[in-house]
Protein backbone atom coordinates (compact mmCIF):
# COMPACT_ATOMS: atom_id res chain seq x y z
CA UNK A 1 0.00 0.00 0.00
CA UNK A 2 1.24 3.47 -0.79
CA UNK A 3 2.60 5.40 2.17
CA UNK A 4 0.58 8.44 1.15
CA UNK A 5 -2.66 6.51 1.42
CA UNK A 6 -1.83 5.11 4.82
CA UNK A 7 -1.00 8.56 6.13
CA UNK A 8 -4.41 9.86 5.17
CA UNK A 9 -6.17 7.05 6.93
CA UNK A 10 -4.04 7.18 10.04
CA UNK A 11 -4.72 10.84 10.64
CA UNK A 12 -6.44 11.56 13.95
CA UNK A 13 -7.26 7.93 14.52
CA UNK A 14 -7.06 6.09 17.78
CA UNK A 15 -6.67 2.88 15.82
CA UNK A 16 -3.22 1.72 14.78
CA UNK A 17 -3.06 0.77 11.13
CA UNK A 18 0.16 -0.12 9.44
CA UNK A 19 1.87 -2.51 7.09
CA UNK A 20 4.08 -4.96 8.99
CA UNK A 21 7.80 -4.93 8.23
CA UNK A 22 7.39 -7.86 5.85
CA UNK A 23 5.69 -5.37 3.52
CA UNK A 24 2.80 -7.73 2.90
CA UNK A 25 0.51 -7.90 5.90
CA UNK A 26 -1.68 -5.19 7.34
CA UNK A 27 -1.85 -4.80 11.10
CA UNK A 28 -4.97 -3.17 12.55
CA UNK A 29 -5.30 -2.55 16.24
CA UNK A 30 -7.85 -0.64 18.24
CA UNK A 31 -8.38 -1.26 21.94
CA UNK A 32 -8.67 -5.00 22.41
CA UNK A 33 -9.08 -5.69 18.69
CA UNK A 34 -5.91 -6.82 17.00
CA UNK A 35 -6.11 -7.94 13.39
CA UNK A 36 -3.61 -9.25 10.91
CA UNK A 37 -4.93 -8.97 7.37
CA UNK A 38 -3.32 -10.44 4.30
CA UNK A 39 -4.81 -10.22 0.85
CA UNK A 40 -3.49 -11.89 -2.29
CA UNK A 41 -4.11 -10.60 -5.78
CA UNK A 42 -2.79 -7.99 -8.18
CA UNK A 43 -0.85 -5.22 -6.41
CA UNK A 44 -3.51 -2.61 -7.12
CA UNK A 45 -6.23 -4.90 -5.80
CA UNK A 46 -4.36 -5.62 -2.57
CA UNK A 47 -3.92 -1.87 -2.11
CA UNK A 48 -7.65 -1.35 -2.63
CA UNK A 49 -8.44 -4.12 -0.19
CA UNK A 50 -6.20 -2.67 2.53
CA UNK A 51 -7.66 0.79 2.12
CA UNK A 52 -11.14 -0.65 2.41
CA UNK A 53 -10.11 -2.64 5.50
CA UNK A 54 -8.77 0.49 7.20
CA UNK A 55 -11.82 2.54 6.30
CA UNK A 56 -14.11 -0.08 7.73
CA UNK A 57 -11.94 -0.82 10.75
CA UNK A 58 -11.78 2.70 12.21
CA UNK A 59 -15.38 2.63 13.37
CA UNK A 60 -15.71 -1.02 14.41
CA UNK A 61 -14.76 -0.56 18.06
CA UNK A 62 -16.98 2.48 18.51
CA UNK A 63 -19.91 0.62 16.94
CA UNK A 64 -19.42 -2.31 19.28
CA UNK A 65 -18.98 -0.15 22.36
CA UNK A 66 -22.16 1.69 21.49
CA UNK A 67 -24.07 -1.54 22.02
CA UNK A 68 -21.72 -3.12 24.53
CA UNK A 69 -24.29 -3.32 27.33
CA UNK A 70 -26.62 -5.34 25.13
CA UNK A 71 -23.84 -7.50 23.74
CA UNK A 72 -22.73 -8.47 27.24
CA UNK A 73 -26.19 -9.73 28.16
CA UNK A 74 -27.33 -13.31 27.83
CA UNK A 75 -28.65 -13.99 24.36
CA UNK A 76 -32.38 -14.85 24.22
CA UNK A 77 -34.22 -16.15 21.20
CA UNK A 78 -36.81 -13.37 21.22
CA UNK A 79 -34.43 -10.48 21.94
CA UNK A 80 -34.26 -7.49 19.66
CA UNK A 81 -31.47 -7.45 17.13
CA UNK A 82 -28.65 -4.94 17.54
CA UNK A 83 -28.04 -2.29 14.90
CA UNK A 84 -24.36 -2.72 14.03
CA UNK A 85 -23.40 -5.20 11.37
CA UNK A 86 -20.62 -6.74 13.49
CA UNK A 87 -23.02 -6.99 16.44
CA UNK A 88 -25.58 -8.70 14.22
CA UNK A 89 -22.99 -11.24 13.12
CA UNK A 90 -22.26 -11.90 16.80
CA UNK A 91 -25.91 -12.44 17.71
CA UNK A 92 -26.47 -14.67 14.67
CA UNK A 93 -23.52 -16.82 15.67
CA UNK A 94 -24.61 -17.39 19.28
CA UNK A 95 -28.36 -17.62 18.63
CA UNK A 96 -28.31 -21.41 17.97
CA UNK A 97 -27.14 -21.92 21.57
CA UNK A 98 -29.45 -19.39 23.22
CA UNK A 99 -32.14 -21.85 24.24
CA UNK A 100 -29.83 -24.51 25.63
CA UNK A 101 -27.22 -22.69 27.64
CA UNK A 102 -25.90 -19.36 28.84
CA UNK A 103 -24.12 -17.47 26.11
CA UNK A 104 -23.64 -13.81 25.29
CA UNK A 105 -22.91 -12.35 21.86
CA UNK A 106 -19.42 -11.51 23.19
CA UNK A 107 -18.56 -15.20 22.69
CA UNK A 108 -18.38 -14.48 18.96
CA UNK A 109 -16.92 -10.98 18.94
CA UNK A 110 -13.47 -11.87 17.60
CA UNK A 111 -14.79 -14.08 14.83
CA UNK A 112 -17.45 -11.52 13.91
CA UNK A 113 -14.92 -8.71 13.56
CA UNK A 114 -12.69 -10.91 11.40
CA UNK A 115 -15.69 -11.86 9.27
CA UNK A 116 -16.78 -8.25 8.86
CA UNK A 117 -13.36 -7.00 7.75
CA UNK A 118 -12.93 -9.96 5.40
CA UNK A 119 -16.34 -9.34 3.83
CA UNK A 120 -15.36 -5.69 3.35
CA UNK A 121 -12.13 -6.41 1.51
CA UNK A 122 -13.61 -9.18 -0.63
CA UNK A 123 -16.31 -6.76 -1.80
CA UNK A 124 -13.81 -3.96 -2.40
CA UNK A 125 -11.22 -5.76 -4.48
CA UNK A 126 -10.62 -8.75 -6.68
CA UNK A 127 -8.63 -11.11 -4.49
CA UNK A 128 -7.54 -14.68 -5.15
CA UNK A 129 -7.47 -15.34 -1.43
CA UNK A 130 -7.34 -13.43 1.83
CA UNK A 131 -7.48 -13.89 5.54
CA UNK A 132 -8.25 -11.77 8.57
CA UNK A 133 -6.79 -13.11 11.79
CA UNK A 134 -8.29 -11.63 14.94
CA UNK A 135 -6.10 -13.00 17.70
CA UNK A 136 -6.40 -16.57 16.43
CA UNK A 137 -9.97 -16.36 15.23
CA UNK A 138 -9.64 -16.33 11.47
CA UNK A 139 -11.91 -15.57 8.54
CA UNK A 140 -10.81 -16.97 5.18
CA UNK A 141 -11.49 -16.15 1.56
CA UNK A 142 -10.56 -18.64 -1.16
CA UNK A 143 -11.20 -18.72 -4.88
CA UNK A 144 -11.04 -21.83 -7.04
CA UNK A 145 -7.69 -23.56 -6.99
CA UNK A 146 -6.44 -21.66 -3.94
CA UNK A 147 -5.70 -23.01 -0.50
CA UNK A 148 -4.45 -22.00 2.94
CA UNK A 149 -2.15 -23.88 5.27
CA UNK A 150 -3.08 -23.08 8.86
CA UNK A 151 -1.01 -23.84 11.94
CA UNK A 152 -2.74 -25.07 15.09
CA UNK A 153 -1.35 -24.44 18.56
CA UNK A 154 -1.70 -26.82 21.49
CA UNK A 155 -2.48 -23.95 23.83
CA UNK A 156 -3.54 -20.45 22.85
CA UNK A 157 -0.80 -18.84 24.95
CA UNK A 158 1.98 -20.89 23.34
CA UNK A 159 3.57 -20.07 20.05
CA UNK A 160 4.54 -23.67 19.29
CA UNK A 161 2.66 -25.39 16.50
CA UNK A 162 1.04 -28.67 17.23
CA UNK A 163 0.00 -29.36 13.69
CA UNK A 164 -0.98 -27.78 10.41
CA UNK A 165 -4.03 -28.20 8.28
CA UNK A 166 -4.73 -27.37 4.68
CA UNK A 167 -7.98 -25.79 3.57
CA UNK A 168 -8.63 -25.60 -0.15
CA UNK A 169 -11.41 -23.90 -2.08
CA UNK A 170 -13.48 -27.09 -2.26
CA UNK A 171 -13.57 -27.30 1.50
CA UNK A 172 -16.52 -25.30 2.92
CA UNK A 173 -14.50 -24.12 5.91
CA UNK A 174 -14.04 -20.33 5.95
CA UNK A 175 -13.77 -19.75 9.67
CA UNK A 176 -11.34 -21.02 12.29
CA UNK A 177 -11.45 -20.19 15.97
CA UNK A 178 -9.69 -21.35 19.12
CA UNK A 179 -10.91 -21.13 22.69
CA UNK A 180 -9.57 -22.35 26.01
CA UNK A 181 -8.98 -21.19 29.56
CA UNK A 182 -5.37 -20.30 28.79
CA UNK A 183 -6.44 -17.92 26.06
CA UNK A 184 -7.25 -14.25 26.30
CA UNK A 185 -10.91 -14.75 27.18
CA UNK A 186 -12.28 -16.48 30.24
CA UNK A 187 -13.52 -20.05 29.90
CA UNK A 188 -15.96 -22.02 32.02
CA UNK A 189 -14.18 -25.24 31.04
CA UNK A 190 -10.70 -26.68 31.37
CA UNK A 191 -9.69 -27.34 27.75
CA UNK A 192 -6.25 -26.01 26.97
CA UNK A 193 -7.47 -25.28 23.48
CA UNK A 194 -10.41 -26.16 21.30
CA UNK A 195 -9.95 -25.29 17.65
CA UNK A 196 -13.07 -25.28 15.52
CA UNK A 197 -13.45 -25.22 11.77
CA UNK A 198 -16.77 -23.84 10.56
CA UNK A 199 -18.23 -22.17 7.51
CA UNK A 200 -17.93 -18.73 9.10
CA UNK A 201 -15.52 -17.22 11.61
CA UNK A 202 -18.18 -15.98 14.04
CA UNK A 203 -19.85 -19.40 14.08
CA UNK A 204 -16.48 -21.05 14.72
CA UNK A 205 -15.81 -18.59 17.55
CA UNK A 206 -19.13 -19.25 19.30
CA UNK A 207 -18.82 -23.04 18.86
CA UNK A 208 -15.24 -23.07 20.17
CA UNK A 209 -16.47 -21.30 23.30
CA UNK A 210 -19.30 -23.80 23.79
CA UNK A 211 -17.07 -26.85 23.25
CA UNK A 212 -14.26 -25.50 25.44
CA UNK A 213 -16.82 -24.91 28.20
CA UNK A 214 -18.02 -28.51 27.82
CA UNK A 215 -14.55 -29.96 28.41
CA UNK A 216 -14.83 -29.93 32.18
CA UNK A 217 -14.67 -31.88 35.41
CA UNK A 218 -17.25 -30.15 37.60
CA UNK A 219 -16.26 -29.99 41.26
CA UNK A 220 -12.76 -31.37 40.70
CA UNK A 221 -10.51 -30.17 43.58
CA UNK A 222 -7.46 -29.55 41.38
CA UNK A 223 -9.29 -26.98 39.28
CA UNK A 224 -9.18 -23.42 40.55
CA UNK A 225 -12.23 -21.38 39.57
CA UNK A 226 -12.91 -17.76 40.32
CA UNK A 227 -16.02 -15.66 39.68
CA UNK A 228 -15.36 -13.80 36.42
CA UNK A 229 -16.44 -10.49 37.96
CA UNK A 230 -13.74 -10.84 40.64
CA UNK A 231 -11.14 -10.76 37.88
CA UNK A 232 -12.83 -8.32 35.53
CA UNK A 233 -15.72 -6.45 37.16
CA UNK A 234 -17.45 -5.82 33.84
CA UNK A 235 -17.07 -9.34 32.40
CA UNK A 236 -20.09 -10.58 30.44
CA UNK A 237 -19.84 -13.79 32.47
CA UNK A 238 -20.78 -12.00 35.71
CA UNK A 239 -20.38 -14.20 38.76
CA UNK A 240 -19.92 -17.42 36.79
CA UNK A 241 -16.85 -19.40 37.80
CA UNK A 242 -14.07 -19.22 35.27
CA UNK A 243 -11.06 -21.50 35.21
CA UNK A 244 -7.82 -20.01 36.49
CA UNK A 245 -5.67 -23.08 37.04
CA UNK A 246 -5.84 -26.76 36.27
CA UNK A 247 -3.76 -28.96 38.58
CA UNK A 248 -2.65 -32.49 37.92
CA UNK A 249 -5.32 -34.68 36.38
CA UNK A 250 -5.19 -38.43 35.99
CA UNK A 251 -5.33 -39.92 32.52
CA UNK A 252 -8.84 -41.19 33.26
CA UNK A 253 -9.99 -37.70 34.23
CA UNK A 254 -8.48 -36.17 31.10
CA UNK A 255 -10.25 -38.84 29.09
CA UNK A 256 -13.57 -38.19 30.86
CA UNK A 257 -13.41 -34.42 30.35
CA UNK A 258 -12.44 -34.75 26.70
CA UNK A 259 -15.21 -37.26 26.06
CA UNK A 260 -17.88 -34.77 27.15
CA UNK A 261 -16.31 -32.16 24.88
CA UNK A 262 -16.19 -34.57 21.96
CA UNK A 263 -19.87 -35.44 22.44
CA UNK A 264 -20.75 -31.75 22.35
CA UNK A 265 -18.61 -31.18 19.26
CA UNK A 266 -20.16 -34.19 17.52
CA UNK A 267 -23.62 -32.85 18.25
CA UNK A 268 -22.74 -29.41 16.84
CA UNK A 269 -21.25 -31.09 13.77
CA UNK A 270 -24.41 -33.12 13.17
CA UNK A 271 -26.45 -29.93 13.51
CA UNK A 272 -24.29 -28.35 10.81
CA UNK A 273 -22.92 -25.67 13.12
CA UNK A 274 -19.31 -26.76 12.72
CA UNK A 275 -17.28 -28.87 10.30
CA UNK A 276 -14.53 -30.15 12.55
CA UNK A 277 -12.86 -29.60 15.89
CA UNK A 278 -9.61 -30.43 17.64
CA UNK A 279 -9.81 -30.61 21.43
CA UNK A 280 -6.73 -30.40 23.57
CA UNK A 281 -6.35 -31.07 27.28
CA UNK A 282 -3.13 -31.82 29.16
CA UNK A 283 -1.36 -32.82 25.98
CA UNK A 284 -4.13 -35.20 24.85
CA UNK A 285 -5.85 -34.36 21.59
CA UNK A 286 -9.21 -35.54 20.21
CA UNK A 287 -10.42 -34.82 16.71
CA UNK A 288 -14.03 -34.50 15.59
CA UNK A 289 -14.89 -34.55 11.88
CA UNK A 290 -11.38 -35.84 11.36
CA UNK A 291 -11.72 -36.15 7.60
CA UNK A 292 -11.71 -32.35 7.53
CA UNK A 293 -8.46 -32.15 9.32
CA UNK A 294 -6.82 -35.23 7.91
CA UNK A 295 -3.80 -33.19 7.02
CA UNK A 296 -3.38 -32.23 10.62
CA UNK A 297 0.14 -33.49 10.83
CA UNK A 298 1.20 -34.72 14.19
CA UNK A 299 4.61 -33.23 14.63
CA UNK A 300 4.37 -33.18 18.40
CA UNK A 301 7.18 -35.69 18.79
CA UNK A 302 9.28 -34.03 16.20
CA UNK A 303 8.99 -30.79 18.10
CA UNK A 304 10.09 -32.33 21.35
CA UNK A 305 13.44 -33.06 19.73
CA UNK A 306 14.17 -29.42 19.13
CA UNK A 307 16.18 -28.19 22.01
CA UNK A 308 18.46 -25.43 23.08
Partner 1 sequence: MADDAIRCDACPVLCYIKPGRTGSCDRYGNHDGKLVRLDPHVVLNRAVERGDSVVPFLERCAEWDGSLVSHGETFVTAIGAGTTYPDYKPAPFIISSQVEGVDMVTVVTEGIFSYCGVKVKIDTDRHLGAECSKVRAQGEEVGHVTTSEYGSQMLSLGGVRHLTGGSRHEGTATCDALLNLCNGKAVELEIDDGATVVVEAGKPPFVDGVREERMRVGCGSATIGMFAKQWFGKVDEVVVVDDHITGVLSEHQAGKLLGIPETGIKLKGRRSTPGRYFQVAEPGTSWGGTNIEDPLSILGKFSAKKAWPGLRLLMVSTTGEHYGYFELGDDLRPKEKELPPALRASVARIKENCEPALCTMLFMGGAGGSLRAGVTENPVKLTHSVRDALTRVTCGGAPVYVWPGGGITFMVDVTRMPQNAFGYVPTPALVAPIEFTLRLEDYGALGGYIDQVRPLSSISAEKGGKKTVAARQDNPWPLEAGAKSR
| Minimum CB distance to partner 1, residue 195 (Å) | 15
Binding residue (CB under 8 A) for partner 1 from 55, 230, 271, 294: 230
Cα angle: 281, vertex 286, 287; to 5 degrees: 140
Residue number, 34 or 168, with CB nearest to partner 1: 34
Measured between alpha carbons, how far is 81 from 62 in angstroms, rounded to an integer?
18
Percent helix, percent strand, percent coil in the chain, to nearest 5? 40, 25, 35
Distant-in-sequence, close-in-space partners of 91: CB < 8 Å, separation ≥ 6? 75, 79, 81, 82, 105
Residue 20 within binding range of partner 1, rule CB under 8 A? yes
DSSP state of 281: E
Measured between alpha carbons, how far is 288 from 234 in angstroms, rounded to an integer?
34
Residue 16 within binding range of partner 1, rule CB under 8 A? yes
| Minimum CB distance to partner 1, residue 120 (Å) | 20
Contact set for partner 1, span 108-167 (CB under 8 A): 154-155, 158-160
**Contact yes or no for 36/25 (Cβ under 8 A):** yes
From residue 190 to residue 229, the character string flagging contacts with partner 1 as x (rule: CB under 8 A) and all else as - is ----------------------------------------
Residue 34 within binding range of partner 1, rule CB under 8 A? yes
Neighbours of 24 (CB within 10 A): 11
Task: Using CB under 8 A, count the residues that bind partner 1.
Answer: 32
Residue 253 within binding range of partner 1, rule CB under 8 A? no
Residue 31 within binding range of partner 1, rule CB under 8 A? yes
Listed in sequence order, the DSSP H helices in 95-235 are 109-124, 201-214, 228-231
Residue number, 151 or 218, with CB nearest to partner 1: 151
Residue 248 within binding range of partner 1, rule CB under 8 A? yes
Q: Which residues bind partner 1 (CB under 8 A)?
A: 14, 16, 20-21, 30-32, 34, 61-62, 65, 68, 154-155, 158-160, 184, 230-234, 247-248, 282-283, 303-304, 306-308
Amino acid sequence: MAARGRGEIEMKQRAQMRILPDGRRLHLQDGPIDLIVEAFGAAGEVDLAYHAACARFVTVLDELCGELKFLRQECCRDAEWPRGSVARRMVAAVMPYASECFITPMAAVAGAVAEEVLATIVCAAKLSRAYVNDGGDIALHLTVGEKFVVGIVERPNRPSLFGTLTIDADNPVRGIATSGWRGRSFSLGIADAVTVLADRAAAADAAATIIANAVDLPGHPAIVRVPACDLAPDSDLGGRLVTQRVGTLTEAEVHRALTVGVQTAERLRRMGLIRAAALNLCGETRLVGADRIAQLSSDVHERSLVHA
